Structure 1
Amino acid sequence: MENVITRRTFHPAFGATLPAFVATRVERYYRERVQQTWAGGHIMRGKVPGPDALHLSSNDYLSIARHPEILSAMYESIREEGNGLLMSAVFVHGESPLLEFENRLAAFMGAESGVLCQSGYAANTGLLQSIASPETTVYADMMAHMSLWEGIRSAGANPVSFMHNDPGHLERQILRYGPGIVVVDSVYSTNGSVSPLRDIADVCSVHGCVLVVDESHSLGTHGPRGAGMVVELGLTDRVHFRTASLAKAFAGRAGFVTCSHEFQEYFKCESNPAIFSSTLLPHEIRGLLATLEVIARDDWRRSQLASNARYLRDELTALGYNLNGSESQIIALEAGPEPRTMVLRDALEAHGVFGSVFCAPATAKNRSLVRLSINAALTQEQLEKIVTVCGAIREQVQLHLWPSTRRRGDTAPAAHRQRNGHEEMAVAA
């Protein structure tokens, strides 16, 4: 079926007519984005995956979303407790699975305490709203997750960006604007690059800044038993707060903030997302408790994930793809302008490889990409298929014309330019 977006308008029988200031904004989306940029299609909607499709769009890095122990725990909870008491977590006290999970995950991460939130987005927005104010300067890596930027906005704080993974630029910004809060991701969700956390922590220590690290894409996949990158680097006493979405390696739907006992109580009575949202359902919490056991126990999943990701990074780099410094299980193929990314999406999907399209506002304008999220369950045969497909489509997607390719300056080391029985031409810088 052709992927065409049909313009829908409000009819009086189905609701009030939108006033001009809203209708104009909707009209602009259909005119500029759908028609002019996407030629009537939709950048997020390509083919429907078939039964043999390779799904590289899921954040289930450790391949545990269907783990029998986790599903059994959730099933038993639903059967015994149903949906439980629907209320804000601020009312929960005494013995409860929610508080038990908070304590166990905090201990797992080497923290004194922690707070379970409705999502990673709620964790980040709630934390920044609770620690920043209009008098606070918040320094954010320019590729920090949108939820961190939204937290800065909701706090009314002064946002100051610094160049991606550049501690020197961060320090110059702090010298200019004064001490404040620094927010970074440990692993960046857009391109899989890894933050230089030790250097960032050094800058924060010297200048008296609070350091917040979003570990959404490293909790469960990095560190001893999956405790995260901050634990792996021995920085637990230098990072003031860690946040995480549990919709990644934990394959659930929740968020978490590490903190002190004192701050835990403060957060639950100060954070708007904590106060004005209902808590997780009992079966979700029981599932997370079981998930923590699986993640802490199954080191082989992390080893396999790391091996799979390393293999693909090496092979795709050898094929001439600029992976923008990925050092993790997230691999980005940055085609650039959105129409070019749609061509890449269609080429991959025609061969049964389905990734996630990222475009503005998730990326900078004209730096859209297809993100491949690697998981532990991929077989060697499947990994080789991904490499074969990416090699076969290079001419079709005009890899040599991608801005990311030109930034790299060369498609591949000379020893790796022989692919598919013919010699490749190196792309000029």
Structure 2
Amino acid sequence: MSISFPSVVTPSFQMLPVRSPELPEFARQRVERFHNERVATSWNGRHILRGAKPGANALMLQSNDYLAITRHPEIVAAQREALACAGNGAMMSGLFLQHDDDPLHVVERELALALGSEETILCQSGYVANIGLVQCLAGERTPVYIDMLAHASLWEGIKAAGAQSVPVFHNDPEYLERQILRHGPGLILVDSIYSTNGSICPLAEFATIAQRHGCIFIVDESHSLGTHGVHGEGLVASLGLNDRVHFVTASLAKAYCARAGLISCSRRFKPYFAFESMPAIFSSTLLPPELAGIDASHRVIQREGWRRARLQHVTRRVREALLELGYPVREGTEQIIALEVGTEAAVMKVRDAFEAENIFGAIFCAPATAKNRALLRLTLHAGLDDDAVNRLIGACTRLRDKIDLADWSASRRERRTVNKPQAALEVA
């Protein structure tokens, strides 16, 4: 059943619109810079995210609903029942919910058991979870070692803490260790699967380094929780690293299809976080329908393992086909496929070409990526049948010679990587 909303909302009482006051010059310049330098110049006057409108038969590869459960009847029914019974619940900070039988803590304990952790904390989003966690662990002089492709929320957590950020080359354990020897013990922040290119972090190697040098190891599992592991427990638990990873965080707005965030932690840390994390203290708690949805999604994810198997099958087939076609996607292995084109103007042309084939991905550009490393992200999911997979591969085949593959920034980087050993031999 689809839900329709009126195109125009007519309030019962209307006020005449009033012109907003002019911004002071220091702020106005920033706004005008966006419109003049990005919209008018880089995007040729067209907003970069405004592509074609998808039709009825469009292949949508934008959503993070990896397991295709956003409309699962069991989840929808649980949310509907919770809303009918409890409404929108308590409009206050979760800090005040101190009884063990509160639905929030019941769901937290269930998730902790599934992840193999002592406790979990549910937050309003993965962004809130990461900012609050880093903010309440790091001080001004604490070095925070962060992978250069780590999620923006982890970088923002460093800013919130006023700590020292030490960027680490992507998935490079040796470089990480050299930086720790230089700056001393601190926090290590990584994603288990990176959201821009679908690459996997060498978690065991990073955990060994963290343990050897007395560092706190934090892993964001937003893109592996639910999709990886026998029961969807994520990579940390499935690799047996729970006793070497201090904290697992995740946005549940991916495989769990819930607007919430999660932190796994020790029992002793949980009450500390509630009183030290500014986002946790000053945000209202999750609503009953949200908690019911998380609980129902968790049961579906654990029970319906065929969804993970299907996602893995689709991912293998599409990635193998793209590699055969010459697309530069070797940096990743998982369900997130990055077509890294380069400039924003260039990625808009590639996006338009795919949309002409009725394939809709999502453009990622600065600040989500580095400058001139804009990409079209194709997000695979378990709901793709064989016909849909064939449509995608067919479109990629037809477009290969039309979208200047050789000029993409990822293609140039791949050529440098392939030629590097030979160049080194010639120098020697």
Instruction: Give the TM-score taking structure 2 as reference length.
Output: 0.92
Matches within 5 A, 1:240-389: 240-389=246-395
Partner letter of residue 20 of structure 2? G
What is the aligned counterpart of 1:117 among 117, 123, 129?
123
Alpha-carbon displacement from aligned partner over 1:237-286 (angstroms, at most 9, x marks no partner): 00000000000000110000000111111111110111000011101101
What is the aligned counterpart of 1:40 among 10, 26, 45?
45
Structure 2: segments with no counterpart, 5+ residues = 1-16, 419-428
The alignment status of 1:49 with 2:54, answered yes or no, reads: yes
Alpha-carbon displacement from aligned partner over 1:9-41 (angstroms, at most 9, x marks no partner): xxx932211111111111111111011110001
Which residue of structure 1 lines up, in the alignment, with residue 244 of structure 2? 238
Q: Is the 8 A contact 2:336 2:380 kept in 1?
A: yes
What is the aligned counterpart of 1:139 among 145, 150, 155?
145
Which residue of structure 1 lines up, in the alignment, with residue 424 of structure 2? none
The alignment status of 1:61 with 2:61, answered yes or no, reads: no
What is the aligned counterpart of 1:171 among 177, 183, 186?
177
Alpha-carbon displacement from aligned partner over 1:379-408 (angstroms, at most 9, x marks no partner): 111111111111111222111221211222
Which residue of structure 2 lines up, in the alignment, with residue 15 of structure 1? 20
Q: Is the 8 A contact 1:191 1:324 kept in 2?
A: no
What is the aligned counterpart of 2:30 among 25, 32, 36?
25
Displacement of 1:60: 0.3
Which residue of structure 2 lines up, in the alignment, with residue 224 of structure 1? 230
**Structure 1 SS opposite 2:231:** helix
What is the aligned counterpart of 1:191 among 184, 190, 197?
197
Would you say how many aligned residue pairs link Structure 1 and Structure 2? Answer: 400
What is the aligned counterpart of 1:158 among 145, 154, 164?
164
Matched residues in 2 for 1:144 and 1:407: separation?
20
Partner letter of residue 379 of structure 1? D
Alpha-carbon displacement from aligned partner over 1:48-104 (angstroms, at most 9, x marks no partner): 111111110000000000000000000001111111111100011221111101111
Q: Is the 8 A contact 1:128 1:151 kept in 2?
A: yes
Matched residues in 2 for 1:73 and 1:13: separation?
43
Which residue of structure 1 lines up, in the alignment, with residue 7 of structure 2? none
Partner letter of residue 117 of structure 1? C
Alpha-carbon displacement from aligned partner over 1:152-187 (angstroms, at most 9, x marks no partner): 110001100110000000000001101111000000
**Structure 2 SS opposite 1:74:** helix
User: Which stretch has the larger CA shift, 185-194 or 401-410?
Assistant: 401-410
Q: Is the 8 A contact 1:340 1:397 kept in 2?
A: no
Structure 1: segments with no counterpart, 5+ residues = 1-11, 413-429
Matched residues in 2 for 1:409 and 1:381: separation?
33
**Structure 2 SS opposite 1:108:** helix
Matches within 5 A, 1:406-425: 406-409=412-415
Q: Is the 8 A contact 2:112 2:264 kept in 1?
A: yes
Partner letter of residue 401 of structure 1? D
Matched residues in 2 for 1:268 and 1:409: separation?
49
**Structure 2 SS opposite 1:14:** coil
**Structure 2 SS opposite 1:261:** coil
Matched residues in 2 for 1:24 and 1:395: separation?
42
Matched residues in 1 for 2:103 and 2:46: separation?
46
Partner letter of residue 52 of structure 1? N
Matched residues in 2 for 1:15 and 1:406: separation?
47
Report the aligned-residue RMSD. Answer: 1.2
Q: Is the 8 A contact 1:111 1:236 kept in 2?
A: yes
Which residue of structure 1 lines up, in the alignment, with residue 93 of structure 2? 88
Matched residues in 2 for 1:20 and 1:13: separation?
21
Matched residues in 2 for 1:60 and 1:332: separation?
17
**Structure 2 SS opposite 1:60:** coil
Which residue of structure 1 lines up, in the alignment, with residue 103 of structure 2? 97
Partner letter of residue 25 of structure 1? R
Which residue of structure 2 lines up, in the alignment, with residue 5 of structure 1? none
Q: Is the 8 A contact 2:227 2:308 kept in 1?
A: yes
Q: Is the 8 A contact 2:323 2:330 kept in 1?
A: no
Matched residues in 2 for 1:135 and 1:351: separation?
52
**Structure 2 SS opposite 1:22:** helix
Partner letter of residue 344 of structure 1? V
Which residue of structure 2 lines up, in the alignment, with residue 75 of structure 1? 80
Which residue of structure 1 lines up, in the alignment, with residue 4 of structure 2? none
Give aligned-pair identity as a percent. 52
Displacement of 1:232: 1.3
Matched residues in 2 for 1:154 and 1:407: separation?
34
Q: Is the 8 A contact 1:324 1:332 kept in 2?
A: no
Partner letter of residue 281 of structure 1? L
Matched residues in 2 for 1:265 and 1:367: separation?
41
Matched residues in 2 for 1:324 and 1:241: separation?
29
**Structure 2 SS opposite 1:405:** helix
Which residue of structure 1 lines up, in the alignment, with residue 400 of structure 2? 394
Displacement of 1:324: 4.2
